[in-house]
Structure 1
Amino acid sequence: MELEAAKERIKTLRKEIEYHNHQYYDLDTSSIADNEYDALMRELVHLEGEFPDLLTPDSPSQRIGGVPSEGFEKVRHDTPMLSLANAYNLEDLREFDKRIRGIVGNSVHYVCELKIDGLAVSLKYQDGLLIRGATRGDGEVGEDITSNIRTIRNVPLKLNEGVSIEARGEAYMPRQSFERLNRVREEQGQDLFANPRNAAAGSLRQLDPKIAAERGLAVFVYSLADMGWYSVDSHSEALDWMSSLGLSVNKERGEFDNIDDVMAYIESWSEKRHDLPYATDGMVIKVNQLAQQQELGFTVKSPRWAIAYKYAAEQAETTLNEIRLSIGRTGAVTPTAYFDAVQLAGTTVSRASLHNEDIIHERDIRVGDRIVVQKAGDIIPEVVRSLPEYRSGEEEPFRMPDECPTCGEPIQRLPDEAVWRCVNPRCPSLIQEGLIHFVSRDAMNIDGLGEQWILQLLHHDLVRDAADLYHLTHEQLLGLERMGEKSAGNLVEAIAASKNNSLEKLLFGLGIRLVGAKAAKTLAASFQTLDALQQASLEELTSIRDIGPKMAESIVKYFANSGAQKLVQRLRIAGLNMEYLGGADGAVTADGAAVDSEVLRRFVERKFVLTGSLEFIDRKKASEWIEQLGGTTTGSVSKNTDVLVAGEKAGSKLSKAKKLIENGDKPTLEIWNEQEFIQNLQAAGIDTGH
């Protein structure tokens, strides 16, 4: 290639790669498959190697990751968090081994660890206590995500020893959590996460820690920053020590003294990895001895003593036979591709969601096409693209019908949405999915009333909406297939018990579009009764924190619907509680009465910082009470802080809070002394003992 042509191609590649970097690292989404991105990067690295005068420091080949988000405070890493060089085939691994042995000699020991598909994080402990969690960011500066990291259950807040360390690891979303999250997002008409990595990143970079807490994240640690400071001589010793401290270390690893055994180990996991409860897209190979790591050193962006082997994305060609439509509980009409069965990631796959009409047209997918399918993140089947070169001319372009495939009523698409919806409240599909949702754990939690029983109840015409559930008799249930005397009795009792649920359970169960479990809790706590919520205006709704205009409009429309009004009235007559009760997940006074909404608003969805010495309250207990009342605690004052609790000898944090107020950067920030804090806790129903 001539110099000018190379210059233009490098310019094009850099622009395209930076665009995808922005999508991937900063927006937590992806518009191309990993292998396509890797091909672009390989081409860029190759051209820059061939024309070294064209290599510049700002090239994406020299970058480590994304840029820190503006929504979080910045964290400068004491030791840079570098990325790893990649190997895409076994020959790359042999070259890596050759370079290593050429520097340190033939006595080399390797450790192989599964490469987890997640987000790199840093966990900093001081005297055994977790004081900071951070993202990698650009390697030098990351984001302070301490409040989100603290919600991850397998991250210890206190180590087994009172040591001061910084552990690096990967935050990831288990397969089960990923599938559940995407199901909910699809039902609500939201964009789906492309893979578990994007889902984990999107969850950890939420400004509201409760969102991260709801998504079932986990962390595997894989190294210590500045390992030379600790009493370990090898990487494997460091992993064992971190495990003894209580940190979660992946037990799946191998140790070898030659590259052939390393490659055999990698091959052995090629299929087994699909059975793991988390996604892994490769294997990381590291020189074990720390002295050899130090001798090998680093490049600008990665250690010379480690490399990441990436498994090729497993794809298959097949024939698309049909596109079927299904209706979710919110009325979303979802197209699904049905194709000749293929083997992918260890399972037989014959269908994949196409999500919406726009995706089908963007990828030019037609019934009868030869198509390429894969599993996104080795989990969710997806149609990657069509293969138009195989077309015979008989393939049929997809067209969304005008009518619901279940009830025949017209379907609608709002201007700002990609999803078509059936809006007929009597649509059998909406009724079925709505009932399944109504009885689910996060809604009315009717134990024993699963999907199969709902289908039978509908088949026998025993229920037509949620209110009918509360009129079912023992005798009617005995008429269902495989329903015994004891099971029928237990189910009647479970249905009756659900009448006593707090208002937020009912609100979520009603399936109001855009109202999830978290929003239902906020609404219930704010309005206290369903009557008050039904009468709320758009202005009243949007004045509540985290209730945006779209959700508010959805709530108003729902309660203005005559069908919804009749359902609520029938549920009321059936004896369902329609008041907020608080309880373990909410706030109640000492005698069990619900807390006044104005008092509760002092805590719900608000971010607290505790500073100085508290004389009458243990700081840990104070944080627990704040969280019990629906708030969160963070370690630093910022524009996101709502309340600073200032004890004796409050220093820089108090000064910063006052400055934010005085400069108008956060005029609503409140500063409470310890006595005010105790009074507000007691008003919210907390027995502080004072």
Structure 2
Amino acid sequence: MKDLERRRKELEGLLKKYDEAYYRNAKPEVSDQQYDRLRQEFDSLGSQDDMLGLFAGEEDQLGNEKRELVPVVGDDRLEEFESHIHISPMLSLDNTYDEEEFFEFNKRLCKILEKEELPYVVEPKIDGVAVSLTYEQGVLVKATTRGNGIEGDIITQNIIHIQNLPTKITSANFPSLIEIRGEIFMAHDEFNRINSERENEGLDLYANPRNLTAGTVKLLDPKEARRRKLEIVVYGLGACHPSGYFSTQSQFHHSLKVWGLPTVEFLQAVSSASGAWAAIGHLDEQRNNYSYPTDGAVIKLDSIEMQQVAGTTAKAPRWAIAYKFESERQQTLLENIIIQVGRTGTITPVACLKPVQLAGSLVSRASLHNADEISRKDVRIGDQVIVEKAGEIIPQVVEVVLSEREHSLVPFSFPSVCPECESELFKTEGETAWRCPNSLCPDQIKARIEYFASRGCMNIDHLGESVISQLVDRSLAIKLSDIYNLSKDQLLQLDGFAEKSADNLLLSIEKSKEQDLWRLICSLGIKHVGVSASKDLARVFRSLHTLAQATESDLTAIEGIGGIMAKSVISFFEDNATQDLIRFFKDQGLQVELPIADLELDLILDGKIFVLTGALSELTRDQAVEKIEALGGRVSSSVSKKTSFLVSGSSTGSKFNKAEKLNIPIISESEFYDMIQKG
């Protein structure tokens, strides 16, 4: 007995630690599978039915007794946020990774309900952040996190901007009070956009969309939250008044669609457990086409009356279960750990792997994030490691196969000096990344020039990584202005350059002087300023000179620009080297201000939101986006009720179907060109 109690306390401590990392810090320390195994072991060592207590004599606004959870695990509340008690508790779901366990779940329910077959609905399990939306008289009054299941944090201010979230529903058959449960998520495209900007800014990359979503909904600065495009889908019913409003989960789902709320793309009603198992397989085949990350299927009793009869345990409903899809993982050899230096001096460790096929691509490198991560996982060169794609996007080392470790392998020694310039590394308090302080570090210079010349910035063709390395190593380019002083004779000194290749690069450099102001702002590499913010800064300030004189209040008045970014912009332009660079760019004829034609442009698309689908024949996707934004419009990656137009090219996909369902105007490529040419 003592051994069991000791193990139970050990597991309780581990689960609390992992929950703190997952729920409060949005930085999980173990995989879902590892966590679920520990949780199942913990639950098997003793009953937790006494976890749920009651406030004697107190009732909520629907006349139900209030309940108080004394959680052993799982609580995302933060002191900085106001809390709200859910009218109906937000319980977690029991998980399984096993077909046999799923059918055991069905067998238990059949016994409870005295039925031979049961009706189910199957829907995606979205890897996001659970939320409860409270509507009173059709008006969204509160958005709340799960919290500890009974009480959550109010996050309305951080999600109210979500495009496809209606704040008012005017339908005559809408309940007077309802809690609608759903999931906040970040689309793959938006996640990639943010990580690309962070990489360009020399910041740590986010591990997966779920972690970034969790961090975004708990930001104290709503402006900063709005810069990250969160999305939402709803699927669950909490409290509802009047009661008995819905008879089945399918009916509830249909009502959500009628009311214009964003729903899951896959919901299949079946008459048996075998039908549900087949639907799980169909979902697994389709889920990679969805814009949101999915990590499993949720199977629920369709009948709400049956749900009520089946009841709940202390932590989960008996009438639902989550079947988790196994992440594709592969074991391979960690051949080396290399250290990369970013343009802002960030030191990033990268695992060099024996190439392995993973989720449809050949992977030879994987993220190790930072020194703390290497130490925590005790990753050593020569180890056999397990690799997976986090959120099916970024390859990362999940764990070491300790059973196959050779005794001769030694712990990895993270460098204390820059591997390129040997400057002593430093770490800012509160950050995990080590940095090189030397702005003249060759690797930083190379990364800055590469970023400046990249397609998303000044788009200088023929100025790739190998050319930049030669220019820096030969001291032909040590600052951005040197690019515009390169001569043909200098280029002919480089390996691989002949008359034609030198002429092509010089022509591309000259052509870059015509790039838009926002691209020039972006290419400067101001910390925290990416593509979206650069466009806002160019539109509002209209010249580098005016931007350089902007105050913090001028900057934070722009939606999406918070105090941290504003301070970064001001600090950048206060530097004498920056002032010299602006003067140089102006003398060289770069677009340091908006052209007169742009200043006088009629913003005919002001307030309009466009979504592009399929291939366009006359413009690239980037060119179409630039045209729309120049005329005051915005481009979104996903279709919602707020979408103004879907521009349909050839080979369209799911966006076209969704636009049809939502009655969004769908315009052809030629209609789109007619529209923008009027500006």
TM-score (norm 2): 0.70
Residue type of the partner of 2:208? N
- Pair 1:372 & 2:391 matched: no
Quickly say closer, same or farther: Cα 1:497–1:377, change in 2 above 3 A: closer
Tell me the residue number matched to 1:97. Answer: 106
Q: How far does the alpha carbon of each residue in 1:361-387 deviate from its partner, in whole angstroms, 9 at most, with x for none?
A: 332222222122222233322112333
Tell me the residue number matched to 2:662. Answer: none
Q: How far does the alpha carbon of each residue in 1:583-642 deviate from its partner, in whole angstroms, 9 at most, with x for none?
A: 99xxx9xx99xxxxxxxxxxxxxxxxxxxxxxxxxxxxxxxxxxx9xxxxxxxxxxxxxx
Tell me the residue number matched to 2:134. Answer: 124
Q: Is the 8 A contact 2:548 2:573 kept in 1?
A: no
Once the two structures are TM-superposed, the CA of residue 293 in structure 1 deviates from its matched residue by 1.9
Residue type of the partner of 1:131? V
- The residue correspondences of 1:437-476 to structure 2 (distance < 5 A) are 437-438=451-452, 446=458, 449=459, 458=468, 465-467=479-481
Tell me the residue number matched to 1:139. Answer: 149
Alpha-carbon separation, structure 2, partners of 1:472 and 1:352: 36
Q: How far does the alpha carbon of each residue in 1:196-236 deviate from its partner, in whole angstroms, 9 at most, with x for none?
A: 22211111111222322222221111123346747543211
Quickly say closer, same or farther: Cα 1:450–1:541, change in 2 above 3 A: closer
Q: Is the 8 A contact 1:432 1:454 kept in 2?
A: no
- Pair 1:224 & 2:241 matched: no
From 276, 285, 296, the equivalent of 1:262 is 276
Secondary structure at the aligned position of 1:225 is classed as strand
- The residue correspondences of 1:429-508 to structure 2 (distance < 5 A) are 429-438=443-452, 446=458, 449=459, 458=468, 465-467=479-481, 495-496=513-514, 498-499=516-517, 501=518, 508=522
Alpha-carbon separation, structure 2, partners of 1:276 and 1:22: 29
Tell me the residue number matched to 1:167. Answer: 180
Once the two structures are TM-superposed, the CA of residue 56 in structure 1 deviates from its matched residue by 8.8
Once the two structures are TM-superposed, the CA of residue 299 in structure 1 deviates from its matched residue by 2.9
Residue type of the partner of 2:162? I
From 149, 153, 163, the equivalent of 1:153 is 163
- Pair 1:178 & 2:187 matched: no
Alpha-carbon separation, structure 1, partners of 2:501 and 2:593: 36
Residue type of the partner of 2:228? R
Alpha-carbon separation, structure 1, partners of 2:168 and 2:503: 49
Residue type of the partner of 2:209? P
Q: Is the 8 A contact 2:16 2:73 kept in 1?
A: no
Secondary structure at the aligned position of 1:365 is classed as coil
Tell me the residue number matched to 1:198. Answer: 211
Alpha-carbon separation, structure 2, partners of 1:196 and 1:68: 20
Deviates further, 28-37 or 338-347:
338-347
Quickly say closer, same or farther: Cα 1:93–1:16, change in 2 above 3 A: same
Q: Is the 8 A contact 1:170 1:219 kept in 2?
A: yes
Alpha-carbon separation, structure 2, partners of 1:71 and 1:480: 61
Tell me the residue number matched to 2:623. Answer: none
Gaps of 5+ in 1: 593-627, 629-690
Tell me the residue number matched to 2:607. Answer: none
Quickly say closer, same or farther: Cα 1:384–1:10, change in 2 above 3 A: same
- Pair 1:295 & 2:295 matched: no
Residue type of the partner of 1:41? R
Q: Is the 8 A contact 1:87 1:310 kept in 2?
A: yes
Once the two structures are TM-superposed, the CA of residue 191 in structure 1 deviates from its matched residue by 5.0
Alpha-carbon separation, structure 2, partners of 1:347 and 1:277: 19
Alpha-carbon separation, structure 2, partners of 1:77 and 1:373: 39
- Pair 1:81 & 2:99 matched: no
Alpha-carbon separation, structure 1, partners of 2:83 and 2:415: 50
Alpha-carbon separation, structure 1, partners of 2:434 and 2:49: 52
Q: How far does the alpha carbon of each residue in 1:88-147 deviate from its partner, in whole angstroms, 9 at most, with x for none?
A: 422221221112212331242111111000111122344544333222222222222222
Alpha-carbon separation, structure 2, partners of 1:300 and 1:400: 45
- Pair 1:569 & 2:569 matched: no
Secondary structure at the aligned position of 1:312 is classed as coil
Quickly say closer, same or farther: Cα 1:467–1:359, change in 2 above 3 A: same
Report how many residues are paired: 573
Once the two structures are TM-superposed, the CA of residue 291 in structure 1 deviates from its matched residue by 2.3
Once the two structures are TM-superposed, the CA of residue 399 in structure 1 deviates from its matched residue by 4.0
Deviates further, 253-262 or 512-521:
512-521
Secondary structure at the aligned position of 1:434 is classed as helix
Quickly say closer, same or farther: Cα 1:107–1:412, change in 2 above 3 A: closer
Alpha-carbon separation, structure 1, partners of 2:435 and 2:461: 22
Once the two structures are TM-superposed, the CA of residue 285 in structure 1 deviates from its matched residue by 0.4
Once the two structures are TM-superposed, the CA of residue 19 in structure 1 deviates from its matched residue by 2.0
* RMSD across aligned positions (CA): 4.9
Q: Is the 8 A contact 1:322 1:337 kept in 2?
A: yes
Tell me the residue number matched to 2:641. Answer: none
Quickly say closer, same or farther: Cα 1:553–1:465, change in 2 above 3 A: closer
Tell me the residue number matched to 2:225. Answer: 212
Residue type of the partner of 2:14? E
TM-score (norm 1): 0.69
Tell me the residue number matched to 2:373. Answer: 359
Residue type of the partner of 1:202? G
Deviates further, 139-148 or 457-466:
457-466
- Pair 1:234 & 2:248 matched: yes
Tell me the residue number matched to 2:325. Answer: 311
Tell me the residue number matched to 1:14. Answer: 12
Deviates further, 184-193 or 28-37:
184-193
Q: How far does the alpha carbon of each residue in 1:312-368 deviate from its partner, in whole angstroms, 9 at most, with x for none?
A: 344322111122333322132322112123343444322201122333233222222
Q: Is the 8 A contact 1:274 1:378 kept in 2?
A: no
Alpha-carbon separation, structure 1, partners of 2:317 and 2:289: 30
Secondary structure at the aligned position of 2:516 is classed as helix
Once the two structures are TM-superposed, the CA of residue 512 in structure 1 deviates from its matched residue by 3.4
Q: Is the 8 A contact 1:331 1:422 kept in 2?
A: yes
Residue type of the partner of 2:16? E
Q: Is the 8 A contact 1:45 1:61 kept in 2?
A: no
Alpha-carbon separation, structure 1, partners of 2:116 and 2:90: 29
Tell me the residue number matched to 1:634. Answer: none
Alpha-carbon separation, structure 2, partners of 1:480 and 1:17: 63
Alpha-carbon separation, structure 1, partners of 2:281 and 2:538: 53
Deviates further, 366-375 or 293-302:
293-302
Alpha-carbon separation, structure 1, partners of 2:537 and 2:502: 40
Alpha-carbon separation, structure 2, partners of 1:232 and 1:330: 56
Q: Is the 8 A contact 2:334 2:353 kept in 1?
A: yes
Alpha-carbon separation, structure 2, partners of 1:483 and 1:78: 71
- The percent of aligned pairs where both chains have the same amino acid is 36
Once the two structures are TM-superposed, the CA of residue 34 in structure 1 deviates from its matched residue by 1.7
Tell me the residue number matched to 1:383. Answer: 397
Secondary structure at the aligned position of 1:48 is classed as coil
Alpha-carbon separation, structure 1, partners of 2:503 and 2:264: 44
Residue type of the partner of 1:118? G
Alpha-carbon separation, structure 2, partners of 1:5 and 1:571: 72
Alpha-carbon separation, structure 1, partners of 2:225 and 2:303: 36
